[in-house]
Amino acid sequence: MALLQISEPGLSAAPHQHRLAVGIDLGTTNSLVATVRNGISVVLNDEEGRALLPSVVRYLADDSVQVGNVAQAMQSADPVNTIISAKRFMGRGLHDIGDTLGMPYRFVDIPAAGPGQGMLQLRTVAGVKSPVEISAEILKTLRARAEASRGGELVGAVITVPAYFDDAQRQATKDAAKLAGLNVLRLLNEPTAAAIAYGLDNAAEGVYAVYDLGGGTFDISILKLSRGVFEVLATNGNSALGGDDFDHRIYCGLLEKNGLSALSPQDTRLLLTRARAAKEELTDRSETRITALLGSGDTIDTVLSRQDFYAMSQNLVANTLQPVRRALRDAGLKVEDVKGVVMVGGSTRMPQVQRAVAEFFGQTPLTNLDPDKVVALGAAIQANVLAGNRSADDWLLLDVIPLSLGIETMGGLTEKIIPRNSTIPTARAQEFTTFKDGQTAMSIHVVQGERELISDCRSLAKFELRGIPPMVAGAARIRVTFQVDADGLLSVSAREMISGVESHITVKPSYGLSDAEVTRMLQDSNQHARDDMQARALREQQVEAEQLLEAVQHALEQDGDALLDEAARVNIRANMDRLREVLQTSEHLAIKRAAAQLNEATVAFAQARMDKSVSRALGGKKLSDLEI
């Protein structure tokens, strides 16, 4: 079986040469780097033997940067300059993140004035920093660890991202890697990476669900594994739901129980740190004590039981099962069709999560691989393949895109070109035409979402195709091609097929979908399906009616006086006025009837114009001059 892609161009390794490639799990809470040694995927440790690198970055006044454990130790003492969970901000504007979970940062909202702008930034003692820059510091540390461990320069890295990361979030991740000096061989969806690690280790076959609950994101992927083929059937999730939210529930409970409200940034971070420690202790204990001396002089001394924690977080657990149901529905499967459930992410260690997943699927989840490490291990296996080191046991990886991609058509309608859960990489094309006579340019509006109307989808980019030869409306043939690469990133081109004029754009939106928008898009597409179809039918009928009115008006101006008597002209204009009147309503059937009446009223006029045209074409010619 041939690989989907054995190596990137120019990276094919000689048989005696092993190229150094790594897999990186850039996590919300912790990050890891792994590689393949002697055919086995292993996580690389730091000098002190620690595999996990806390995803924490601290900026100092002298422009120096601390990353990992040393920065984490200062998060309560210097919370404004110590950034945690930066992954949640990747590719997002300030209004996208909504509730900042009590984070003590000084946010800077950058208006979306152009490509690459609009992502929120944070003001630190070392200046304003973007989430891309913060993530790059983490990646630099992992790169240095890998090069020190392997004793050479890296050829490249496979970096994992949540399956539900949109185009902007993926692009931001690639930008962070570029800042860190890493050559990105591939962006790989985290659940898919986990499936690679499990599938190759266990020689698994069948349908598997990968339940991935990390520090800041949740993904569910349904995969089919068969003879080395990893096919993602469907994916769903929430890019703003993770372990941080469970910490915040404990934090809010502490505030309520102790009658506290406004806290200093230092006290806020201290309580969030204590909340996280309590959450982790409740994994193995039935209760834990939370103590803290706040800067205000208040003392926290509270016992939190596992049962109380279950109660305050049960809706968070339930929120992870909604995407699971949608993914199964999209894959056309039932719960009993799933052979195994893979648990990924440190947050899946919480007993209430494991119990809920086991009850939903009716089976005990697979946990024989460390949920913190499994994503990095799978990414390392993929990196080893892409670097050209793997020459046997070829396998094929088929991933999907999470949301539909399309363009805006007349009437503010969405025309989907690549539907969600399409296997990537992929390219699809569709032909469109002009709306007006003599039209020489067309605006291409690229959107993402599941709704029928453009106003209910997310705008990704706009570009123009100019130089279209002037033709009558509907004569031009504009072929719009969408290409999604293996990283899930989009490029769009438009070509007029007669003249050959072409334009294209690599879609780099200013920032990603809001936390609620991704979930809302899919929910709304189901809840409003009937309304959407009615709205689409209305807009299509309105567009057709407007085209009909324009054509009849043009015909009247050219030949109305010559070919029609007064009564016929009055009748046609009356039908035109009636159609214009019903166009102001939302009754698509009434518009359709009025358009049909206008068509009927102009039948004789159209025939007369055709006779005139034929007579003009044959004028002065003999029958013998005509070719039959």
**Is 544 tagged catalytic?**
no
Q: Which of 25, 166, 408, 456 is an active site residue?
A: 25
Residue 344 DSSP label: E
- pLDDT score at 352: 94
- Provide the residue type at 101 as one letter: L
**Whether 602 contacts 564, CB under 8 Å:** no
Q: What is the mean pLDDT of each run of 10 residues along the chain (628 residues)?
A: 39 55 93 90 91 94 89 88 89 69 73 53 89 92 90 89 82 87 91 81 76 88 81 84 91 88 84 92 92 85 92 93 93 93 90 95 88 92 84 61 81 83 82 85 81 75 83 86 81 85 69 46 57 72 85 87 87 91 85 90 86 70 54
Q: What is the 3 state secondary structure string of 30-63?
A: EEEEEEEECCEEEECCCCCCCCCEECEEEECCCC
Tens digits of residue pLDDT in 488-505? 778 888 888 888 888 877
- Letter for the amino acid at 116? G
Q: Which of 87, 140, 279, 508 is catalytic?
A: 87
pLDDT digit string, tens, across residues 567-618: 888 999 999 999 999 888 888 788 888 989 998 888 888 888 887 777 776 6
Please report which helix (H) or strand (E) contains residue 160, including its range: strand 156-161
pTM of the model: 0.67
Domains of the chain, earliest start first: 21-243+312-400 (3.30.420.40), 405-527 (2.60.34.10), 530-617 (1.20.1270.10)
Pairing of strands 127-129, 156-161: unpaired
pLDDT 10s digits, 517-563: 445 545 555 566 666 667 767 777 888 888 889 888 888 888 888 88
Instruction: Give the amino acid at 432.
Output: F
Among 46, 137, 166, 190, the active-site one is: 190
Question: Cα 12 from chain centroid?
Answer: 31
Q: Compute CA distances 159 → 223, 379, 582, whole Å.
A: 20, 7, 56
- End-to-end alpha-carbon separation of the chain, Å? 58
Round to whole Å and give the CA distance between 369 and 107: 38
Annotation marks residue 87 as catalytic: yes
Nearest to 252, CA basis, from 132, 102, 111:
102
In the block, residue with structure tokens 């949301």:
403
Among 133, 137, 167, 212, the one annotated catalytic: 212
67, 592, 595, 599, 603 from 582: Cα distances, Å: 65, 9, 10, 15, 21
**What is d(CA 326, CA 341) in angstroms, rounded to the nearest whole number?**
16
Would you state the pLDDT for residue 394?
56
d(Cα 383, Cα 201) in Å, to the nearest integer?
16
**What whole-number distance in Å separates Cα of residue 54 and Cα of residue 138?**
9
Tell me if residue 600 is catalytic.
Answer: no
Q: Tokens 């009636």 — which residue?
A: 578
Q: What tokens appear for 241 in the block?
A: 């739901």
Q: Is the peptide bond before 425 cis (omega within 30 degrees of 0)?
A: yes
Mean of pLDDT over the chain: 82
Check if 532 is active-site.
no
